[in-house]
Amino acid sequence: MAPTIVLITGTNRGIGRGLLELYLAKPNHTIIAANRDPNHPTSKALADLPKAEGTSLLLIKIDATVPTDPADAVKELASHGIDHIDILIANAGIAFIWPKVSEVKVEDMQKHTVTNTYGVIHLYQATLPLLKKSKNPKWVSIGSSAAFLTVMTSVLDMIPMQNAAYAPTKVVLHWLTKAIHIEEPELTAFPIDPGWVQTDLGNDGAKAFGVEKAAITVEESAAGLIKVIDAATRETHGGKLWVWDGRQVPW
């Protein structure tokens, strides 16, 4: 049986690495780990992660700020005999400042938008032909509760918190993923909030809001995300907004 091919962006740390470790533990998978610098020590270290029987790892370069990287990566995958992708998890993203709308600098919004929005568009456009060659393609956007427009009753509510550089990019990402679902009837496409996770990004955000650290561990988030992705079908999950713990939530 052919292996399940999974591409994950932003894999050398945080949620991306957590997802990578769990997918490598699944037998008969080919995992494509994408990040901005495969030669960085944190990237090279991924090769030493344990792998299940029949599972392999391929490192490729996709820098979300470089428009041509996804197309170049697709060419590289072809040279390795990879002509389709079964699951693509668009995880790479940045957040480095948390201002009010009255104080946000447009150039800071632009930096977040280049990575978190434009980078995803370049990735999607380059990989869509490979997804379409899968028998059961899934596109998963790692979204954020920072982009929820309906205040939830969860401790992870982000609406009351100032977040005018990062949050708008995730609102757009949610919209784009809904549009992908509508435009491509053969895809199972949905955004999912990974929770407020104890990554560098998550903990920096926590400190900015006067909290010691984020709410959940990388391991908890990654396990929940994969459980949702594994269960997802177009009919049950496509075009809907999800949370790592399996809840569907309002847009």
Looking up tokens 């996770």, which residue turns up? 197
**Cα 40 from chain centroid?**
20
**Cα 119 from chain centroid?**
11
Residue 138 bears catalytic tag: no
CA-derived radius of gyration, the chain: 17
Q: Which of 23, 26, 51, 166 is catalytic?
A: 166
Residue 44 bears catalytic tag: no
Q: Do the Cβ atoms of 138 and 87 come closer than 8 Å?
A: yes
**Alpha-carbon torsion, ordered 171, 201, 112, 170, to 10 deg:** -10
Q: Which of 26, 51, 138, 170 is catalytic?
A: 170
Strand 29-35 vs strand 87-90: parallel, antiparallel, or unpaired? unpaired
* DSSP element (H, E) containing 61: strand 56-61
Enumerate the active-site residues. 166, 170
